[in-house]
Amino acid sequence: MKTICGFLNRQGGTILIGVNDDKKVVGINLNGLVDEVKLYFDKLKRSFFPIPMGLIETVEVPVRRCVGDNSFVWVPNMYILRV
């Protein structure tokens, strides 16, 4: 909440969940819980006062891994969340 509040009080930005501090994509396994995660962030948005209108949006981005020279495969149930 502190991080989101900091973004809301400045000029905004993007929080990526599933990317580590070294900018390496590690992803998170949502295993069919995408709707529940979005619901969580909707509830979280209502804990701020005043309620940010449309400023917090959760988008899931599928993760793909490199398997060779310029070859990638999609990793099932693995996502990055963009908040």
Place of tokens 């909440």: 1
Query: Do residues 78 and 27 touch, judged by C-beta distance below 8 A?
Result: yes
DSSP reduced 3-state for 1: coil
Cα–Cα distance measured from residue 55 to residue 47, given in angstroms and rounded to the nearest whole number: 13
Residue 57 has pLDDT above 80, yes or no: no
Domain range annotation of the chain:
7-82
Task: Specify the pTM.
Answer: 0.67
Over residues 21-36, the pLDDT tens digits come to 898 888 888 777 878 8
Contacts of 72 (CB under 8 A, 6+ apart): 64, 65, 66
Q: Residue type for 46, please?
A: R
In the structure encoding, which two tokens stand for residue 64, read together?
């793909």
